[in-house]
């Protein structure tokens, strides 16, 4: 299905190519906010016929732009009526500007119809994730000035409303449609602007000052420009890479939400347009170089939502970082546990890692001190609740979750699979999670030393080193020269070859004497398909190149592995994956890296094969290129002493990288890296503040 998307804040519109919300079996088209669908039908007709699509796309200012045609026949002539349609979302309202032009040789009387309906289904009902259908009562449609009022009284006692009205004309109003008739001479135009406003009782979704379409569009452009001016700007001499960077920057802006504490990435559209602990944190880690305000808002939001009590339904525990939060009718009625839901094993250590990395980029002790109690609570959760059997490893699964059987990032039902093809039985200690724990303890020790909390810092450092020593014995598979996916309930190694140990390069938990074997396996044809590293090796019994987690390629997974390769000085191998991902992006619509794609070998197929239901755009896929750029530059930061160290690699085809507005602490830098033979030259250096830039 070809879906067109526009979004602003929490409100997003999914339409077909014509800009219509057409009822269909898949049921995903609609106008959504707060996990409810406020329009399930919105169709434009001319003389009771759907116009034919000539062209459809989205501009950089987040305008859905459509060209349509309606053909007129008589005995001597056959010409067209042209319809130009522009849709934007601004300040809680959808604007739909419809321009009708008569190219028929004679005057015409045309009827423009807008068919509307709203089912107000919760997004979990739209996705058929729950048995419950509509729980509340649909209110009778009624007429308002130049428009229609649609409403729903939920079982949660909350009234949800939609008003669809013509802003600049008077039309004839019916319960299921708006009609407008007008006469056009040859080449005469008629402009009709529709405003669609969702409302939730007790919540302010829009200001009362409704402005016209052009002013709203201008404000959107200024908003985008302001966002870009606050971000890192990257330009290279590689056309495909530049396109990927531009697309990712635009998508990341689209995917930013705000729950009252500042920016936080939502996971992906359409089904995951809410904050997810893991997804939001990883996206924030990826984009620290782009804009630290994303990480700042994510830390504040997740600290605010941190677990406070033991609640089995929500899998909440004191200090635990949430997995997913929802705001719809089912959540209000506690028919789903996402209020928030805490069924994840890795969000808590990742939260700690983000705090450490944020400090390394910003030196922001004000925020670190503010969230320090939350950081201590997260550390306590790891020791008290994360390590179920007190064996020194953090596991999930003893609590028999009804919602998430597997609680790492590979959370599909069949993602934890033994070498013999049997599913692993929980509790399961995932390999990458132990790496995150190690990295979190090491990083928090650094911060606590800096804050003068010496004894706590020493204990964390000691615990981290002991974990690293045990990990390299218990998870290492000597016969396969690789690390296990995890340990099952019997502490038996889950011996499948997967991408997960690549995250352990990122965290630094892998001992140097084992790193070469790990890298060799990751870059072998078993794992690397020519575009990226597969989630599972193709020789494994559980391998399926078209599966969600057992053989597919995930850009975010690869970006983390690339950063780990740089950490262990495997530059050539990192460059190989980088080139593969850049080339893969050119095969996808809008030069966008999707959530994932299939793992078929590059030798088998001309281009990468799309995964049918991948989220696109998706936050950590969009953030991947910025972690990759950080890896290309080989950046390490010393915010305390105001220094940036560069150890760049420029893969084949990339000979020049221009960086503007790179921020560390209160300082910023512009510079250019140019490849000259075997050397890389630093030039055009411009520093604001007290910052040392060292190549």
**CB neighbours (10 Å) of residue 605?**
14
Query: Confidence band (pLDDT; 50, 70, 90) for 640?
Result: confident
State the Cα–Cα distance between residues 502 and 514, nearest whole angstrom.
12
**Two structure tokens written together for 392:** 């020194």
Could you tell me how many helices (H) and strands (E) the chain has, helices first?
Answer: 15, 31
Per DSSP, the three-state class of 658 is strand
The span from the CA of 102 to the CA of 108, in Å, is 8
DSSP-derived 3-state class of residue 431: helix
Radius of gyration (C-alpha) of the chain in whole angstroms: 27
Could you report the per-residue pLDDT of 456-481, keeping only the tens digit for each?
999 999 999 999 999 999 999 999 99
> What homologous superfamily is domain 4-220 in, according to CATH?
Glycoside hydrolase, family 65, N-terminal domain (2.70.98.40)
Q: Is 34 left (phi over 0), alpha (psi -120 to 50) or beta?
A: left
Mean pLDDT of 496-512: 99
Residues 263, 288 contacting (CB under 8 angstroms): no
What average pLDDT does range 143-163 have in this prediction? 96
Strand pairing report for 692-694 and 643-645: parallel
Distance CA 417, CA 79 (A): 62
Mean predicted confidence (pLDDT) in 253-282: 96
Q: Residues 551-607: pLDDT tens digits?
A: 999 999 999 999 999 999 999 999 999 999 999 999 998 899 999 999 999 999 889
Q: What is the pLDDT of residue 333?
A: 96
* Residue pointed to by tokens 């525990």: 317
Q: In what helix (H) or strand (E) does residue 457 lie, and over which residues does it extend?
A: helix 454-474
pLDDT-based confidence at residue 130 (cuts at 50, 70, 90)? confident
Are 244 and 582 contacting, i.e. CB atoms less than 8 angstroms apart?
yes
User: Are the CB atoms for 554 and 595 separated by under 8 Å?
Assistant: yes
Q: What is the DSSP string of 109-121?
A: EEEEEEEEE----
Q: Alpha-carbon distance 639 to 642, whole Å?
A: 5
**Taking the alpha carbons of 587, 288, 294, 341 in that order, is the dihedral positive or negative?**
positive
Within the chain, all domains assigned CATH 2.70.98.40 are found at: 4-220
Q: Quickly count: other Cβ atoms within 10 Å of residue 433's Cβ.
A: 29
Q: pLDDT tens across 32-84, in order?
A: 999 999 999 999 999 999 999 999 887 766 789 999 999 876 655 666 899 99
As a whole number of angstroms, the distance between CA 636 and CA 563 comes to: 12
pLDDT tens track for 210-234 = 889 999 999 999 999 999 999 999 9
Report the distance separating Cα 692 and Cα 638, nearest Å: 10
Q: Quick one: CA torsion of 250, 253, 255, 261, rounded to 10 degrees?
A: 170
Question: pLDDT category, 129, cuts 50, 70, 90?
Answer: confident
Mean per-residue pLDDT, 127-148 = 90
Q: How far apart are CA 280 and CA 263, in angstroms?
A: 10
Strand partners, 687: 669
Judging by beta carbons within 10 Å of its beta carbon (0-12, 13-18, 19+), is residue 350 exposed, middle or buried? buried
User: Please, are residues 103 and 82 in contact by the beta-carbon 8 Å criterion?
Assistant: yes
Q: Which two tokens stand for residue 333?
A: 């009625």
Q: Rounded CA gap, 129 and 145, in Å?
A: 38
The vertex-349 CA angle with 346 and 355, nearest 5°, equals 130
The per-residue DSSP string of 498-526 comes to BSTHHHHHHHT-S-HHHHHHHHHHHTSTT
- Residue that is written with structure tokens 């950080």 in the block: 630
The alpha carbon of 234 is separated from its chain's Cα centroid by a whole number of angstroms, namely 20
Confidence check: pLDDT of 205 > 90: no
């Amino acid at each position: 299905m070809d879906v067109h998307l526009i979004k602003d804040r929490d409100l997003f519109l999914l339409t077909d190519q014509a800009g219509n919300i057409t009822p269909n079996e898949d049921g995903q088209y609609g106008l959504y906010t707060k996990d409810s669908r406020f329009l399930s039908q919105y169709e434009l007709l001319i003389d009771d016929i759907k116009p034919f699509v000539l062209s459809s796309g989205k501009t950089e200012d987040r305008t859905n732009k459509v060209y349509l045609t309606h053909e007129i026949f008589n005995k001597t002539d056959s010409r067209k009526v042209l319809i130009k349609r522009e849709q934007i979302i601004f300040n809680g309202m959808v604007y739909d500007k419809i321009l009708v032009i008569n190219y028929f040789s004679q005057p015409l009387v045309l009827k423009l119809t807008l068919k509307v309906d709203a089912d107000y289904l919760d997004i979990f009902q739209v996705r058929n994730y729950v048995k419950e259908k509509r729980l509340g009562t649909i209110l009778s449609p009624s007429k308002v000035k130049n428009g229609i009022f649609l409403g729903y009284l939920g079982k949660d006692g909350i009234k949800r409303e939609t008003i669809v009205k013509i802003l600049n004309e008077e039309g004839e109003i019916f319960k299921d449609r708006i009609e407008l008739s007008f006469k056009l001479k040859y080449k005469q135009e008629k402009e009709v602007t529709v405003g669609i406003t969702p409302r939730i009782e007790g919540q302010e979704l829009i200001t009362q000052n409704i402005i016209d379409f052009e002013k709203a569009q201008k404000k959107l452009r200024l908003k985008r420009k302001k966002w870009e001016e606050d971000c890192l700007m990257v330009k290279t001499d590689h056309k495909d890479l530049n396109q990927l960077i531009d697309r990712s920057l635009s998508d990341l802006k689209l995917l930013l939400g705000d729950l009252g504490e500042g920016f936080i990435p939502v996971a992906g559209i359409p089904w995951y347009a809410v904050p997810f602990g893991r997804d939001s944190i990883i996206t924030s880690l990826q984009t620290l170089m782009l804009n630290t305000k994303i990480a700042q808002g994510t830390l504040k939001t997740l600290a605010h939502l941190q677990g406070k009590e033991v609640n089995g339904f929500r899998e909440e525990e004191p200090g635990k970082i949430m997995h997913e939060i929802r705001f719809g009718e089912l959540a209000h009625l506690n028919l789903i546990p996402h209020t928030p839901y805490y069924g994840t094993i890795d969000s808590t250590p990742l939260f700690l890692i983000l705090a450490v990395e944020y400090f390394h980029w910003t030196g922001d002790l004000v925020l670190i001190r503010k969230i320090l109690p939350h950081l201590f609570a997260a550390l306590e959760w790891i020791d008290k609740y994360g390590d179920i059997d007190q064996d020194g490893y953090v596991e999930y699964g003893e609590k028999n979750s009804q919602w998430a059987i597997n609680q790492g990032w590979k959370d599909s039902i069949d993602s934890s699979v033994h070498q013999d093809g049997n599913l692993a039985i929980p509790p399961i200690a995932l390999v990458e999670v132990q790496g995150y724990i190690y990295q979190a303890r090491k990083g928090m020790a650094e911060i606590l030393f800096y804050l003068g909390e010496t004894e706590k810092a020493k204990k964390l450092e000691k615990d981290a080193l002991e974990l690293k020593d045990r990990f390299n014995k218990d998870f290492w598979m000597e016969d396969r020269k690789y690390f296990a996916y995890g340990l099952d309930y019997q502490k038996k190694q889950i011996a499948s070859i997967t991408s997960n140990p690549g995250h352990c390069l990122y965290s630094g938990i892998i001992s140097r004497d084992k790193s070469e074997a790990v890298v060799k396996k990751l870059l072998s044809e078993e794992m690397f398909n020519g575009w990226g590293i597969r989630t599972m090796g193709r020789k494994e019994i559980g391998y399926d190149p078209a599966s969600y987690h057992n053989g597919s390629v995930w850009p975010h997974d690869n970006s983390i592995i690339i950063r780990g390769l740089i950490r262990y000085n495997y530059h050539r191998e990192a460059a190989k994956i980088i080139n593969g991902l850049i080339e893969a992006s050119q095969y996808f619509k809008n030069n966008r890296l999707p959530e994932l794609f299939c793992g078929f070998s590059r030798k088998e197929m001309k281009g990468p094969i799309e995964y049918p239901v991948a989220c696109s755009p998706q936050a950590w896929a969009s953030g991947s290129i910025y972690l990759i750029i950080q890896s290309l530059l080989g950046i390490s930061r010393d915010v305390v002493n105001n220094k940036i160290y560069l150890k760049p690699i420029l893969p084949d085809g990339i000979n020049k990288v221009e960086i503007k507005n790179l921020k560390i602490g209160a300082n910023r830098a512009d510079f250019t890296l140019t490849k000259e033979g075997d050397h890389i030259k630093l030039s055009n250096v411009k520093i604001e503040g007290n910052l040392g830039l060292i190549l």
